[in-house]
Structure 1
């Protein structure tokens, strides 16, 4: 069976009132494109599944989870199931507009981009609870990861399939998909896309997600800089702590030899903690190095990806 040009992955959770217009708009936007639509139903408790079955066409597949796993897992499942050369992702709440997809696909194909990311030019969300936290999070992510996009929260993106399917989506890392794509060597660009106010259903996000973003950012920075060399971060901090601890302990020993009573002094406790903590950090780095090597070698994984191979056509002389 011939693979389509484009797979559109849409995550839905309790969106029963949005399904009919969502599918109608998506099918209309994709007319003239060889496509498939993959809907991932993330453990809905309403009639989302029934609505999809009522309105889905023959090019649509529905993946039904047995419970709610979250958006990252839903995206990962849809991307894994996709068979197209390009994969588009979007939310099922009608705030993303499917009519933007053909233009993004054309840009990716004609200009050889691996990822074309949407940027909500006129975002239709609450200013205090959504826009301000989003702007702060975007600024922090952009300046710490050095992946220079303006809108990390927009799900509407088009990827080359091999990039999307090798990103390794876990936990709640969907906010950091551009960073994961960059780690795969992706060439990325950003385009303005339409954004609509939510009409049906309720938002699944709140202010609490800001703290999750910050926690995930620490993980992403570790993945980005130290995943293949954990000893560099654990060992560096460990050696620094160990060195300071040794200096403090030598100083306290000198005071003891000079006849001063050092028992109970905070400096003595600090030296002991830094000494032991330094040893523990170095040990953690060594263990992490062993785990990384086991991860790659036990599964015959490579620490690199070859983008292309060219075979010369001239005979040897």
Structure 2
């Protein structure tokens, strides 16, 4: 099978028939063997009924229905688990992603041997203030912190080798960072293709300020996990030792100054009456706690029964 097209959706009953017809047209024109996997993420409209009808008309259409809304990441995870083709395409169901882009993405995976190709909606039809500018800021921050040089992390239109989606786990709200997850898993050849962005034809956008905030929080999470997820002591231990040394040196300074004043006959105050002493003591306590946090993190990592130590690219004669 050439292509698995994974499409998460929420309340998109109007767009599904048109999207399906468009995909079939592209697949037929290019003589691709394919499957379309719709993941209904807890829709409250007639989306699931539409999917069932499409599956009766076209055996290449498959569907997964969640009991409630679990989020796009979980929908993609479920779709990836079922995808069987050599190349997997993800796209949104709102018709803002054009199926006409699929052959170009497919060729970049096959002919240029990319592990992953991300779409770049260079010209957008969204609100400049409420979506375009926040998206530019988000993408800039994602590039700087992840080291993956893409212009549009949020674009739902992406292509993957099968081995990529089988070796990454998309959880939480990490669907924005699948290229980063792929890079961390060892898939370094990540490309980008300018794709057409179409104005929304049906329904309403699911974008809100909460998604923008969550995106940055997830960015911090994935930055930490990618750098220190397997070695928490390198972060917490380093900061802990630094804080403890600052506190210890400050305490030593207070004691030395007091002894010098006593030896010289100058009037002095009790160490316990010096505000700097409590600051130093607090720094030492925080430093000890940070060091212990890193130490406990290392113990947890080493005692996990299901720890995944490595990923195998291929095997022979086994």
TM-score, reference length from structure 1: 0.92
Q: Deviations over 1:203-230 (max 9, x none)?
A: 1111232221221111111121111211
For the Cα contact (< 8 Å) 1:116–1:159, is it kept in 2? yes
1:5-24 paired onto structure 2 within 5 Å: 5-24=2-21
- What's the secondary structure of 1:63's corresponding residue? strand
Q: 1:267 to 1:91 in 2, by over 3 A?
A: same
1:235 matches 2:233: no
Q: Give 2:265's aligned residue.
A: none
1:81-96 paired onto structure 2 within 5 Å: 81-96=82-97
For the Cα contact (< 8 Å) 2:167–2:311, is it kept in 1? no
Q: Give 1:315's aligned residue.
A: none
CA RMSD of aligned residues (A): 1.6
Structure 2 unaligned spans of 5+: 263-267
Deviation at 1:255, TM superposition (A): 4.4
Q: Give 1:301's aligned residue.
A: 308
For the Cα contact (< 8 Å) 1:255–1:262, is it kept in 2? no
Q: Give 1:30's aligned residue.
A: 27
Q: Give 1:137's aligned residue.
A: 138
Q: Distance in 2 between matches of 1:195 and 1:276?
A: 54
Count of matched residue pairs: 305
Q: Give 1:189's aligned residue.
A: 191
For the Cα contact (< 8 Å) 1:138–1:151, is it kept in 2? yes
Q: Give 1:281's aligned residue.
A: 290
For the Cα contact (< 8 Å) 2:301–2:307, is it kept in 1? no
Deviation at 1:23, TM superposition (A): 0.9
For the Cα contact (< 8 Å) 2:244–2:286, is it kept in 1? yes
- What's the secondary structure of 1:30's corresponding residue? helix
For the Cα contact (< 8 Å) 2:231–2:298, is it kept in 1? yes
Q: 1:290 to 1:191 in 2, by over 3 A?
A: same
1:268 matches 2:277: yes
For the Cα contact (< 8 Å) 1:38–1:62, is it kept in 2? yes
Deviation at 1:17, TM superposition (A): 0.9
1:164 matches 2:165: yes
Q: Deviations over 1:249-272 (max 9, x none)?
A: 222333454432343544222212
1:110 matches 2:111: yes
Q: Which has the larger radius of gyration?
A: 2
1:252 matches 2:259: no
Q: Give 2:39's aligned residue.
A: 40
Structure 1 unaligned spans of 5+: 312-317
Q: Distance in 1 between matches of 2:217 and 2:273?
A: 37
TM-score, reference length from structure 2: 0.91
Q: 1:34 to 1:267 in 2, by over 3 A?
A: same
